[in-house]
């Protein structure tokens, strides 16, 4: 039976552009994983790794025009957005190169023997080593930053782990182009091209997570798909870490005082955040708790005007469009749900943004309105109007884990007067990133960033953005009473590599 072809499709028309590849067979997945496994030694030298990452960024920038054109043809995200995303991706690669050069991620700790301790302490030296080959599952909505050259790949390579990427079917041509660019960068440093494998097809993705030489996996996508792969990773004879980003409602709480102070600005800001990228950001605010009364009415009026002025847009593929239209229809048919701006189908290939309102009381207990507490991918948000603080708290208590949670406070509340601190405490268990007087869309690549959250936002407590993302692909190992001559250079007393470390309880940087 011939392997199924992989087509590049134009989401603006739904028409096939070109055949890019064929879906990988189990044998081809095995070959890709084994080639990556064989390339591990080429990443052993940190200087080579960091140089490779910098070359990858340079090569991507050199091919920018061609790559952005290809990405736009397959995603309809537009050249401005895609150019910015590619710049972010290159910045991220260089940031991980800096982390590799610094060496603090190795977490070196050395304890000399101490017979006076209870119990006595032997000679112990601990640091972190790469896990092995990492499987990366690309996202649809970020064809650069969460795809072949994205954060999972960059952090895994920085950790010293070769990567095999399962390409997303929404941008297969771009995936092939980017993989070729990264392999050219690898060749500059005598790193075999197998250090970055690329496979296509649903079955290939399942085979990948089951392969015995895969040591960990990173995933960004749907709850259904991510949970199936997570279960497969856990069911292996040797289970592996599965770092999946699955779905998030990203709740927003607007206090009555904040609405009274700046209802119009909040409404306009919410409209911009929920429609950004045609509502296809993983941190899109999907549920907003807004007060009833005059201030809340002003906010809804501002939101109505801003969303009404937002044009229809193209989603990443027609399957997503169909799911969005069906999801909107199902939600709008619920009792006491109003549509100040009706979302749904635009033209044959587009969707129009909108939002729903519902009394928050309908969400305080289990019932048919629970559908409104589930993510709807696309330019839609739900505004739940609460009568008092108790009602808002009751809704928050029913929410699953999220990537973000946001609160909008008045000037006085932000200064410590009122319930500001209490609301922050209520939101902290719900999300990995808690925002005050801002909007969650936009995930800065910074050392202190955390892009993750309680399940189902993610399947682990780690982050996929920021410097600490490298920790997902490392494991600690300690040597006890090992002769100095046998120790890795990273763990020797004289510190020949000049690494930051904790030496007999003292931090050395």
**Active site amino acids:** 245, 282
Contact indicator for 408, 291 with CB cutoff of 8 Å: no
Contact indicator for 289, 300 with CB cutoff of 8 Å: no
Contact indicator for 97, 54 with CB cutoff of 8 Å: yes
Asked if residue 119 has a cis previous peptide bond (ω within 30° of 0), the answer is yes
Phi, psi of 187 (to 5 degrees): -60, -30
Which of 134, 154, 91, 160 is CA-nearest to residue 444?
91
Burial bucket for residue 442 (CB in 10 Å: 0-12, 13-18, 19+): exposed
**Exposed e or buried b per residue across 223-255, where buried means at least 16 C-beta atoms within 10 angstroms of its C-beta:** beebbebbebbeeeeeebbbbbbbbbbbbbbbb
For residue 306, what is the enclosing H or E element? helix 293-308
As a whole number of angstroms, the distance between CA 266 and CA 299 comes to 7
Going through 298-379 in order, the beta strands assigned E by DSSP cover 338-341, 344-345, 351-352, 354-359
Sign of the CA dihedral with 76 first, then 79, 84, and 89 last? positive
Which of 27, 16, 319, 12 is CA-nearest to residue 172?
16
């Amino acid at each position: 039976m011939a392997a199924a072809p992989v087509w590049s499709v134009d989401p603006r028309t739904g028409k096939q552009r070109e055949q890019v590849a064929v879906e990988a067979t189990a044998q081809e997945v095995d070959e890709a994983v084994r080639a990556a496994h064989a390339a591990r030694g080429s990443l052993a030298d940190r200087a080579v790794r960091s140089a490779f990452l910098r070359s990858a960024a340079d090569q991507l920038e050199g091919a920018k025009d061609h790559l952005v054109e290809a990405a736009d043809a397959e995603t309809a995200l537009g050249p401005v957005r895609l150019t910015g995303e590619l710049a972010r991706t290159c910045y991220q690669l260089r940031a991980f190169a800096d982390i590799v050069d610094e060496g603090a991620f190795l977490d070196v700790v050395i304890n000399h023997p101490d017979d006076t301790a209870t119990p006595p302490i032997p000679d112990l030296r601990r640091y972190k080593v790469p896990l092995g080959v990492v499987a990366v599952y690309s996202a649809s909505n970020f064809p650069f930053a969460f795809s072949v050259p994205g954060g999972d790949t960059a952090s895994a390579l920085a950790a010293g782990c070769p990567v095999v990427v399962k390409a997303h079917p929404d941008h297969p041509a771009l995936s092939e182009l980017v993989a070729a660019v990264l392999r050219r960068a690898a060749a500059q440093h005598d790193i075999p091209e197998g250090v970055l494998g690329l496979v296509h097809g649903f079955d290939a993705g399942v085979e990948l997570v089951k392969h015995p030489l895969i040591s960990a996996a990173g995933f960004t996508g749907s709850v259904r798909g991510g949970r199936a792969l997570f279960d497969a990773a856990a069911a292996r004879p040797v289970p592996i870490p599965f770092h999946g980003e699955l779905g998030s409602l990203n709740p927003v709480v607007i206090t009555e005082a904040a609405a009274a102070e700046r209802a119009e600005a909040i409404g306009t800001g919410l409209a911009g955040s929920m429609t950004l990228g045609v509502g296809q950001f993983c941190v899109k605010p999907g549920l907003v708790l807004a007060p009833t009364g005059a201030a809340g009415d002003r906010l809804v009026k501002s939101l109505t005007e801003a969303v009404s002025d937002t044009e229809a847009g193209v989603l990443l593929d027609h399957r997503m469009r169909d799911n969005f239209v069906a999801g909107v229809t199902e939600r709008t048919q619920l009792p006491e749900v109003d549509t100040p701006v009706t979302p749904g189908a635009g033209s044959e290939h587009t969707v129009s943004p909108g939002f729903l309102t519902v009394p928050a009381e309908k969400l305080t207990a289990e019932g048919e309105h629970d559908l409104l507490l589930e993510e709807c991918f696309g330019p839609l948000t739900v505004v739940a109007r609460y009568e008092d603080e108790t009602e808002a708290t009751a809704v928050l208590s029913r929410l699953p884990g999220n990537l973000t949670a946001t609160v909008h406070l008045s000037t006085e509340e932000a200064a410590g007067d009122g319930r500001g601190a209490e609301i922050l405490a209520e939101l902290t268990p719900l999300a990995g990133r808690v925002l005050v007087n801002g909007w969650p869309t936009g995930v800065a690549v910074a050392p202190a960033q955390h892009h993750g959250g309680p399940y189902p936002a993610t399947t682990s407590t780690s982050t996929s953005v920021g410097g600490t993302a490298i920790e997902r692909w490392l494991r600690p190992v300690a040597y006890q009473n090992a002769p100095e001559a046998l120790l890795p250079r990273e763990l020797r007393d004289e510190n020949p590599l000049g690494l930051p470390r904790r030496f007999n309880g003292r931090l050395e940087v």
